[in-house]
């Protein structure tokens, strides 16, 4: 599917961050392992963790813990994860991601980040890449009443941009992104270089799926 004609005209793009723009799985796994090891447990099974990307951090720790954790276990693990995250270098952007963001802005599109990552960490990653000024809204999992796949994060971003849902496209690598976008009334585009494959994303209701950054560029910008 090439060009915005395949998904209809739009004025704004709401991007997921981890696994969509940021090549962050290794970093997420290392942070998860650090929290588990500090609690006296072995590192996580990375195949299991990959399937959990995009879910709230609390859910992730409850799934990777070697036994049923207490609420205090999860709270301490989340605190360790976030402190380590802010103390270390941000993940890098996928090749072509920064150019896509710059091209979308040059084409007059409004942009937002909608992520389960905490807002401070998301803003830091964008600042480290010198992209933060490209985004009119950064909505992290710490400032919304409900997390993906609930539409609340997308709805907050739309309000901050002043854009109607019918004029926006959500781009993400998980079914949680697709469900969030569709539930909010946006069109949703999946990418396969993160957590979920093309069949899974299509099954969740993605209007289009890109298997490489050039394909996403074609969907959003045509031949530009």
What is the reported pTM?
0.83
Residue 208, classed as helix, strand or coil, is strand
Residue 109 tokens read as 């599109």
| More confident: 50 or 60 | 60
Residue-wise pLDDT tens digits, 156-210: 999 999 999 999 999 999 999 999 999 999 999 999 998 899 999 999 999 999 9
Residue 147, pLDDT > 50, answer yes
Tell me 146's DSSP state: S
Tell me 90's DSSP state: P
* Strand ranges for the chain from DSSP E: 12-15, 22-23, 92-93, 110-114, 137-139, 168-172, 187-191, 208-210
Domains (range + CATH), the chain: 4-24+92-221 (3.40.50.1000), 25-87 (1.10.150.240)
pLDDT at 1: 38
Residue-wise pLDDT tens digits, 105-144: 999 999 999 999 889 989 988 988 889 999 999 999 999 9
Q: What does the CA dihedral 156, 162, 163, 165 come to, rounded to 10 degrees? A: 30
Residues linked to residue 208 through DSSP beta bridges, in sequence order: 189
List, by residue number, the catalytic residues: 16, 18
Residue 27, pLDDT > 90, answer no
pLDDT at 26: 82
């Amino acid at each position: 599917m090439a060009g915005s004609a395949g998904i209809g005209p739009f004025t704004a793009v709401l991007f997921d961050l981890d696994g969509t723009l940021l090549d962050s799985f290794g970093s997420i796994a290392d942070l998860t392992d650090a929290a588990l090891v500090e609690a006296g447990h072995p590192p996580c099974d990375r195949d299991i963790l990959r399937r959990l990307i995009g879910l709230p951090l609390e859910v992730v720790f409850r799934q990777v813990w070697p036994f049923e954790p207490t609420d205090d276990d999860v709270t301490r693990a989340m605190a360790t994860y976030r402190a380590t995250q802010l103390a270390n270098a941000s993940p890098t952007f996928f090749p072509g991601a920064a150019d896509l963001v710059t091209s979308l802005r040059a084409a007059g599109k409004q942009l937002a980040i909608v992520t389960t990552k905490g807002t401070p960490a998301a803003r830091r990653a964008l600042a480290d890449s010198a992209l933060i000024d490209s985004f009119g809204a950064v909505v992290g999992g710490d400032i919304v009443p409900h997390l993906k796949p609930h539409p609340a994060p997308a709805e907050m971003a739309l309000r901050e941009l002043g854009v109607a849902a019918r004029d926006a496209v959500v781009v993400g690598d998980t079914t949680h992104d697709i469900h969030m976008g569709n539930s909010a009334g946006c069109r949703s585009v999946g990418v396969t270089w993160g957590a979920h494959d093309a069949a899974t994303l299509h099954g969740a209701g993605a209007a289009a799926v890109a298997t490489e950054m050039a394909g996403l560029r074609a969907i959003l910008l045509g031949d530009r």
